[in-house]
Structure 1
Amino acid sequence: MARIIFGREERALLSEYGEQRRRLTGEALRGFNECALCLAPAREPMACKEGHLFCKACVLEYLVARKAKAKKASKAAAKRAKKAAKAAAKAAAKAAAGSAAVSAAGAGVGGTSTGGLSSAATGSLLEARTDALAVAASVGVAASSLASAPNAKGTALKEVDSVGGYWLPNMAPNVDADESGVVVADRTYVVCPESDHKLTFSSLVALKYAPVRTPGGESRHALPSYACSVCETAFRNGSKAVALRMCGHVVCAKECLGLVCADGGRCPACSERVMADPSAPRRGRDYIRLDAGGTGHLENDGERAEATAHRNYAVEIMRFRAGTGMVANASVLVVHAGSGMSADSGLPTYTELVEAGVPYARLCSESVMVSAPDEFWAFWSESVIEYGRARPHNGYNILRRWREERFTSHGAFFVVTTNVDGHFTKAGVVDDDHLREMHGRVTRWQCSRPCGGAGARWEVDDRDVSSLPRACAECGAAGRPAIRMFDDRGWLDDEAQDERHHSWWDAVDDLLETSETAKVVILEIGAGITVAKLRGMTEILAAQNPGQVQVVRINPAYPLRDSDDDTRGFVSIATTGLDALERIDAWLQKLDES
């Protein structure tokens, strides 16, 4: 999908766009890890002294192209200057000849009298002289405008290019075919596409990130490596990161940069000394503050206009339009919902629980059932009641309405979720025949042994904690929620639900094989990277059916594609699930009205 990112010229133009100033608000929509030139996740990332990110190949190609353009423009300007000087000399000679002819004619008749010349002849000579002087004057103006043309050493040009490396379509220069105007570079050196500073390949810093890791510790090779080189915390949009100039390792801007200073200015990742004076680290000399890029939002405080935030409004609108078009033209819609979908109902995500100090990984494990049964029971009985209090947000109502009005054919709408809140059935979005709960449901409990008896699974009332039996009615073993926990060997999956899910995908595969026009859209909402199974499933299905399976990924922190596969048919929307669903629904209603 084509994307639009404004450069520095466009940001300068925004001050004259009136209403657009108020519309460009919010955080950067362009990902923190995206190259400022190709706008895709940076490969072999490099940063300039201002912290703008580039692919190594992209910035090298940019430097070569801009240098070649400047050199070509300099040659063309020198050629035009030579041609103008030659024309000026010729015009001056012609003017002098005309002046001599008039003087000679006057002398032949006694000075000032026109005597032997007719009035027509005199007028002709005067007209010739006037034309010659006009030509000389016009050529002189042209020559003076090129007076600062580059010499052999390449002195900077003056009065030149008003169009930079990027421009709006309505700002493209209009040059007639018979004109010799050439748009040239305004400097003999190359400037950064994101700012005005000089850019050279030798001044760039090759960045080194740590691999993103899962809670279990293993490296997630499917994800781009954009984590702090010291604490290995994954960076996200809005993260403050710096690159150490000497070694290129990227670290957190506060805590981990402080560790570098505390260790005598040595990088913890490579032990190289990276600071001359650790007590007073200097930005630019010792480290580079990495910037997210994007389009500046201008706010006028009465004295000056300042770029105070980064968001590309044009990209945002285009992505919502693309996502809306995919949903509108889909033959089949499958929703892949992660914890971000539940978060809009007020339920905490895994990351929020960990940040709040809740030992969720330990409480959500089989071992604590044996080692601390009372603690396990207290936590999960309270969790059941908490899930019961939460109410499905408006996004569920929107999905239910889409199923009822747009995807009316049997099997045209399916939901796969890792959430255990049961909101998709509670809100009436789908029934169990069109639902796959990959981690179970908190209102379904089971025997912890499990014994396999008829009473080894049971439903509980999420509004009354007294309805939670602590023991299996069949064998007396402790009860537990029938949800998939960490390193869980005793979980009883809903095999009938899993079988229906596989049968549904088999039917979809048959549809794709028999119909070239059929489109399947995966609407992935709030699937994070901590438990990335759902994200992986989305990308595998898209890769197996290129062109026919399209993806709309909605995630405020990780909207980008994890793999390096072709991103065509893949739309990233950086916002919450509820916000995205309400805005896409509004776009769909506009389409229906038109």
Structure 2
Amino acid sequence: MRPQLQRLASAFIDAQRILIITGAGISADSGLPTYRGIGGLYNDHTDDGVPIEVAMSGEMLRRDPALCWKYLAQLGSACLGAGPNAGHQAIAELQAIKPECWVLTQNIDGYHRLAGSPMDRLIEIHGELAPLYCQRCGQTDERLAEHLQRPLPPLCAACDGVLRPPVTLFGELLPSVALERLRRQLAKGFDLVISAGTSASFPYIAEPLLQARRSGGVTVEVNLSHTRVSDRVDLRLEERALDVFPELLSHIAAHNICK
């Protein structure tokens, strides 16, 4: 085993409370676009001449729901057209081994849930794509895939109000329930924090790493790219989460058998 992965495995075995933070990089290996890059959806400007941060904002959903839904639909179609990969599955199995292993994800694709991560130790800080709900009457609608095949925006069957996914659009506040769960867990502290496939550009993503470092915990980054936290972690693996977590799981499982 490579020395860096050996160090990570040792830290994982020794830790009681663990936080794994994931971003778009882990789902890229399922075929999803990362925040900036492919297909125009995540480039600086959309086909409509406005930044994606404007097109997919809460304000745009109110002002021009058809335009906002044009890009939500692209994201939704990408998510529905793929699924969890070996990285998601290995993380779920690592959580099964460690009862105080949590996942904090920026992704809205739901792949951690589909891979088996327990809901009581999963914080989807940006929400999820489904079920849709009506902004006017509050009724929920589970037919995201059907709506993506119809004219946009999708409308409520009960009142014709515009439906939306329970995601945090640009300019909106984070879900209060998810944010409070994160705050409670951070107050307890973590012995090991692993950041995987995220640029850690948001303060609430970087802070768990920095807090663990201040309190003497072990901090790790798994990312092919250099990020703003790369120089502030104890251990950095310039690899894909798809490769690191299954290998880590294999080592942990072998260690447990030999105990």
Q: TM-score range by the shorter chain?
A: 0.7 to 0.9
The amino acid across from 2:221 in the alignment is R
1:501 CA drift (Å): 3.4
> What's 2:11 paired with?
326
The 3 A distance-change label for structure 1 pair 540 and 444 is farther
Deviations 1:440-470 (A, max 9, x none): 111143445xx6xxx5263534433269983
> What's 1:422 paired with?
110
> What's 1:445 paired with?
132
1:343 to 10, 20, 28: 28
**Kept in 1: contact 2:95–2:102 (CA 8 A):** no
1:464 to 146, 167, 177: 146
1:533 CA drift (Å): 3.3
The amino acid across from 1:407 in the alignment is K
The amino acid across from 1:441 in the alignment is E
The amino acid across from 2:17 in the alignment is V
2:166 aligned with 1:482? yes
Number of residue pairs the alignment of both structures matches = 249
2:210 to 540, 545, 556: 540
> Which structure is higher in helix share?
2
* Identical-pair percentage: 19
1:355 CA drift (Å): 4.6
2:259 aligned with 1:552? no
* SS of structure 1 residue aligned to 2:166: strand
The 3 A distance-change label for structure 1 pair 495 and 535 is closer
1:578 CA drift (Å): 0.6
The 3 A distance-change label for structure 1 pair 462 and 323 is farther
* SS of structure 1 residue aligned to 2:78: helix
Separation in 1 of the partners of 2:227 and 2:6? 16
* SS of structure 2 residue aligned to 1:470: coil
1:341 CA drift (Å): 1.3
Deviations 1:333-382 (A, max 9, x none): 22111111111111101111445964532321134334543232233234
The 3 A distance-change label for structure 1 pair 520 and 583 is same
> What's 1:499 paired with?
180
1:575 CA drift (Å): 0.9
Deviations 1:102-153 (A, max 9, x none): xxxxxxxxxxxxxxxxxxxxxxxxxxxxxxxxxxxxxxxxxxxxxxxxxxxx
The 3 A distance-change label for structure 1 pair 500 and 539 is closer
Alignment TM-score, normalising by the size of structure 2: 0.80
Long gaps (5+) in structure 2: none
Separation in 2 of the partners of 1:383 and 1:339? 12
RCO (CA 8 Å, sep 6+): is it higher in 1 or 2?
2
Long gaps (5+) in structure 1: 1-315, 510-518
Alignment TM-score, normalising by the size of structure 1: 0.38
The 3 A distance-change label for structure 1 pair 457 and 558 is farther
**Kept in 2: contact 1:553–1:571 (CA 8 A):** yes
Separation in 1 of the partners of 2:111 and 2:163? 23
The amino acid across from 2:251 in the alignment is W
1:553 CA drift (Å): 0.9
2:198 aligned with 1:527? yes
> What's 2:93 paired with?
401
